[in-house]
A = this chain, B = another copy of it.
Amino acid sequence: MAKELTAKGKATRGRIIDAAAEVLRESGIEGTTLEGVMARSRTSKSQLFHYFPDGKDQLLLAVAQYEADQVLDVQQPYLGRLDSWEAWQQWRDVTVRHYEEQGDHCPIGTLSLYLGRSTPGARAVVIELLHRWQEYLAVGIRALRTAGHLPAGLDVDERAAALLAAIQGGVTILQATGRADHLRAALDLAIGDLRRLGEPASAPAPAPGEDRARARG
């Protein structure tokens, strides 16, 4: 791949990807044009095609890869240390806050949608991301199980899959509506239900263990 890339060349290439990522975040896919990337990165067209001979798609794929790495990075180190209920709660808080701040747009979703049909690599990037993400969650659940906080018979992978779906859905809705309620509810209930599985003795039915209002006609 990166065979003969001078330090300078490497820097330029990186600048292009950074710029493209920024433009994409700000202007969406239809607002992301090579000219815009050129302007932002202070490069010329020849450079774009020098580093990405296959053109726009190749560049956007690189951006997708870059953004995919970001997704998990911003959740660290919490995502990597889900070995107690407190750690889960902490991770939940960080994740919710991050997506609340990011708000509007998800570069991965945008790119996935845009490159999906044409560029096969894009799908692979997303699948890889989801897989890694789910694996972190599974590791965390297993840690809880090993520590005796969860029943031994629990289907870890299924739980992890559901949890990942909950996050995705919450984020999707957050981006569509601007409100984080669903993300919060999804995470809280997913974690809460999980937790309840580990406390068979405690309150089984009403269990307002969290902070919800109860009285309701």
Q: Closest chain B residue to A200 by CB distance?
A: B204
Contact (Cβ within 8 A) B126 A177 = yes
List A residues at the B interface (Cβ < 8 Å): 27-31, 104-105, 109-110, 112-114, 116-117, 123, 126-127, 130, 151-156, 158-159, 161-162, 164-173, 176-178, 181-183, 185-186, 188-190, 193, 196-197, 200-201, 204-208, 212-214, 216
Pairs across A and B, CB under 8 Å, 17 listed: A28-B114, A28-B116, A109-B113, A109-B172, A123-B176, A123-B177, A123-B178, A127-B177, A151-B205, A152-B206, A155-B213, A158-B208, A162-B188, A165-B166, A165-B173, A165-B185, A169-B169
Q: Chain A at the B interface: mostly helix, strand, loop or mixed?
A: helix
Across the interface, A158 reaches (CB within 8 A) one of B173, B185, B204, namely: B185
Q: Shortest CB–CB separation between residue A142 and chain B, in angstroms?
A: 10
- Quick one: copies of this chain in the complex? 2
Q: Closest chain B residue to A179 by CB distance?
A: B127
The answer to whether A212 and B169 touch (CB under 8 A), given A176-B123, A205-B197, is: no
Contact (Cβ within 8 A) A170 B176 = no
Q: Shortest CB–CB separation between residue A161 and chain B, in angstroms?
A: 4
Contact (Cβ within 8 A) B117 A155 = no
The answer to whether A161 and B185 touch (CB under 8 A), given A153-B206, A155-B213, is: yes
The answer to whether A189 and B193 touch (CB under 8 A), given A158-B208, A165-B166, A169-B167, is: yes
Q: Shortest CB–CB separation between residue A105 and chain B, in angstroms?
A: 8
With A and B bound together, what is the CA distance between A185 and B156 in angstroms? 11
